[in-house]
Each structure stands twice: as C-alpha cells, then as structure tokens.
Amino acid sequence: MQKRVLYRHTLPLRIMHWVNAVCLLILLGSGLQIFNAHSALYWGQGSDFHHPWLILGATSDGDGSLRGVTMVGPYRFNTTGWLGVSEMDGAPTERGFPNWATIPGPQWLALGRAWHFFFAWIFAINGVCFVAYALWTRHLIRDLVPTRKDWRGIGRSIVDHALLRHPCGEAAARYNVLQRVAYLVVIFGLGGGIVLMGLAMSPRMDSVLGWLVDLVGGRQSARSIHFLLAMGFVAFFLIHMFEVVITGLGNNLRSIITGRYAIEVETHHETDH
C-alpha cells in the first residue's frame, strides 16, 4: 500500500468552509438567545398562546424549587438543568436554553439580535459566493451532484455507512453518494431554507414575501421551521464530526486546512507473462 496525496479543497473553498463554520456557531448561539425571549413555538400566522407545539418552560414545585419542563406536542419531559430551568450564577433560573449555549450568555435580546443579523449577512454573502464559485469551477456538478452510477449504488452505500464501512483507496478520492446528497441537502435545503424563513419573519420583508409566509402556513410557522432547520444544522454538524473522526481525523483536518488529502492506493507490480 502506498499513500497518494491529492489536492482536495481549493483555497477559496477552505476559506468559505471556515467562515461558514464560525457563522453557524454564532448564528446558533445568538438564535437560541432570541428564542429565549419567548421560549415557545407555534404553527400558523399568529401565536395561539394556548397551543404551542414546543415550550421550554418552568414550573414551581411545592417547596418553591424550579423544575424545567419541556413540552413537545402532547409529551412532557423533565429537563431541569438543561432546558426551561438552568443554573445561572449558581442559582436555578427560568431560561429556555441555558447560558452556556447562548450569545451573549445572560438574557440580552437586543445584543443577541445584533450578533444574529450581523453574522446572517456574512453567512448569506458567503453562501452566495460559494454557489457562484461552485458553479463557475464546476465543483457543484463534478463533486456534489450524484452521477447516475452513484444513484444506482445508493442502497449499498446506506448499508455500508450503517456498518461504518467507508470507502477507502481510490474510491475515497471522490465524494460518495451519501456525502453528495447530504451536502446538497444541507447547502440548498437547510442553508437556503433557513435564510428564506429568516426573511419571512421580517415584518418589512413580508410586504413582498407574503406569498412565502402564506405558503409555509404563516409567520409563526416560519419561526418554527427556522428553528427546526437550525436543529437540522446541529444534527448535520454532529454527524459531520462523527464521520470526520472515524474516517481519519488527522487526514480530514489537514485537507480542510491545507487542502491536501491522502488516500491509500494499491501498488501495482509488473508481472511477467
């Protein structure tokens, strides 16, 4: 076996990847800060305060101690310490998401919004740059859109991923079909969707995006979908980290920092006939 080092990620892609990573972290933290200002979600145009589908709330026990209660549809969970009620300066405090997960840490809606909208612009501009670059360099068509052959092998790829059997050798030189589908869904589904749902929450934008707001069922639906798409990003991040680790942390990290990615290839010995 020999190692072949290939140049996998170009400099613009590496820069855009890391800009995106920082944006997502800050958008998530400041987004949870904004969520905490009213820690309930609804479907529809207005808020039906009696029927949220998600609440991160608190109840007071008989002895006066606070208990965090998370309600998802008809289900109730005790989430004290994590959701609804969490430690703040050493005391249990009513708070949707805990301090360590929000930007800024304490309840501070005005500044949470400032962080969120500043980085939303960078996120959106970075996203537009990525799509333009990926079209221009054919990165999108060549590396991300699955080929017909990819689609035929999707069943096998799902089984392989489930068994943690990852492509190696020359097969690892290109993205496999599940990677391609995952990246496309994240970029256009989650990325595009979350920006649109963000815009749909803006009262001023609704003067021209009323059709979009109606299409998803109303402004509160847009807020719910915005939140769910953010949770989609969190889920993607966790799977992404898991795959990065089990397919070779060092090699993967190097490739997204320096661009260079090593694959193992069979050495071919010339044989006499």
Contacting positions for other proteins (CB under 8 A): 25-26, 29, 34-35, 37-38, 40, 42, 45-49, 100-105, 108-111, 113-115, 117-118, 120-121, 201-208, 210, 213-214, 218-220, 223, 241, 245-246, 249
Q: Give whichever of 105 and 155 is closer to other proteins, judged by the CB atom.
A: 105
- For the CB of residue 37, give the shortest distance to other proteins in the complex, in Å: 4
Nearer to other proteins, 14 or 139 (CB): 14
Query: For other proteins, which is the closer residue by CB, 19 or 213?
Result: 213
Residue whose CB is less far from other proteins, 46 or 73? 46
- Cα–chain-centroid distance for residue 191? 8
Contact 36, 95 (CB under 8 A): yes
Q: Which is nearer to other proteins, 91 or 208 (CB)?
A: 208
Give least dist CB 136 to other proteins, A. Answer: 24
Least separation in angstroms between CB 241 and other proteins: 7
Give me the least distance between CB of 85 and other proteins, in Å please: 19
For the bound state, the minimum distance from the C-beta of residue 2 to other proteins, rounded and expressed in Å, comes to 23
